[in-house]
Chains A and B, each alone.
Chain A
Amino acid sequence: MGQWVFQQKKFKKPEKLNLVPIMDAIFIFIFFLLSSAQLVDVYEINISTPIKKEIISQGDDRNFNLVVIPNEESLDIEFGLKEITKKNFNYLQRKEIITFLMDLKKSNPNENTIRISTRPEVKFNKAIEAIDLTQDPKLTNKLFTQIVFEQEKSNEEISNK
């Protein structure tokens, strides 16, 4: 009797898995993903142009004017309106730049604007690198959220004014 039960178990065919619904779901997924696929990974950086409102009037008591000037090898950071403080950093000094900007932000918590003032011949990727250095993606509280992109005024333009 025991042998008969064993034989019956041995020859019992395994049940087939019904793969049709999972195949349908996968096909729908693939069509959806294919239609929304973008093979080039792209991201964005919000920029604004200098407008009149942002130009600080002479009667303004604020002494905040943060300007980043990217060069081919290094970048200059200028701060202040009446008394201008200049600092020069290498593109590799990321930590130092962030610390400097964090200190500035601490002393001027209401200021959100940073101006990227480019020299005419500086390549676009250097300007982007400068923007990257002033924005720390790890920080939850962003340093300076409004980025103004402008061309650095030539000495002639400044002297004319």
Chain B
Amino acid sequence: MKKFLINKKNKRSNTSIDLDITSLLDVLSIILVFLLFSYNPSDLKLDLVTNLKLAESLSKKHTTFAPVIQINKELDIFYESKLIGNINDEETVKKIEKNLKKDFEKIKIDETLKGSKSKNIVLNLVIDQSVASKHVNQIMTTTALCGFEKFKFIVGPK
């Protein structure tokens, strides 16, 4: 009797359940293909603000990391995704200058430590397609006075 019970227990432990993972593999393969196609090697992580539609361009140059200024349709300015104010407000310009000057000095020190020249310090500009050029120039002039002379317009695909 005892022998019989032991045998029964052994039998139970030896039985393995066969899981059908074919469907799971299919789903994983689809996700993998989708992610491979949408893979972007750029090191800039961009969180687009609301009411901002990117201008379309034929450019295929991948973005690189740099401080980001965004201007949406309502002419609100965001620095590193934080709302600074409206472009028509004088206080906004002062706030941007203050932030940028501080950051420019930081980047300049980092770049000197790395051994590269300050000429490489750039600013990413993410601007809504309907914004008038005078505002683009206004923001470029303000930021250029803080030290940023090179810019990158961030655009969407055509």
Contacts and interface: CB of A to CB of B under 8 A. Distances in A.
Interface of A: 19, 23, 26-27, 29-30, 33-34, 36-49, 51, 118-125, 127-128, 131-132, 135, 137, 149-151
Interface string B29-71: 1011001101110101110100000111111111110000000
B59 A49 contact: no
Given A39-B38, A43-B61, A49 B134 contact: no
Nearest to A147: B153
Contacts of A121: 132-134
Contacts of B42: 38, 42
B137 A150 contact: yes
Contacts of A128: 55-57, 129, 153, 155
Interface residues of B, number: 52
Contact of A44 (B45, B133, B152): B152
Nearest to B45: A38
A135 B32 contact: no
29 contacts: A29-B35, A30-B28, A30-B31, A33-B35, A33-B36, A37-B38, A38-B38, A40-B48, A42-B40, A42-B156, A43-B59, A43-B155, A44-B61, A44-B63, A45-B155, A47-B152, A47-B153, A48-B150, A49-B140, A49-B151, A51-B149, A120-B134, A124-B55, A124-B130, A124-B131, A132-B59, A135-B58, A137-B59, A149-B151
B100 interface: no
Contact of B32 (A29, A45, A118, A120): A29
Contacts of B86: none
Minimum-distance CB pairs A-B, first 9 = A33-B35, A118-B133, A120-B134, A125-B129, A151-B137, A128-B55, A44-B152, A125-B55, A47-B151
A108 B29 CA distance: 53
A124 B129 contact: yes
Contacts of A37: 35, 38-40
A137 B152 CA distance: 17
Given A26-B28, A47-B153, A150-B137, A40 B46 contact: yes
B152 to A, nearest CB: 4
Contacts of A49: 140-141, 144, 149, 151
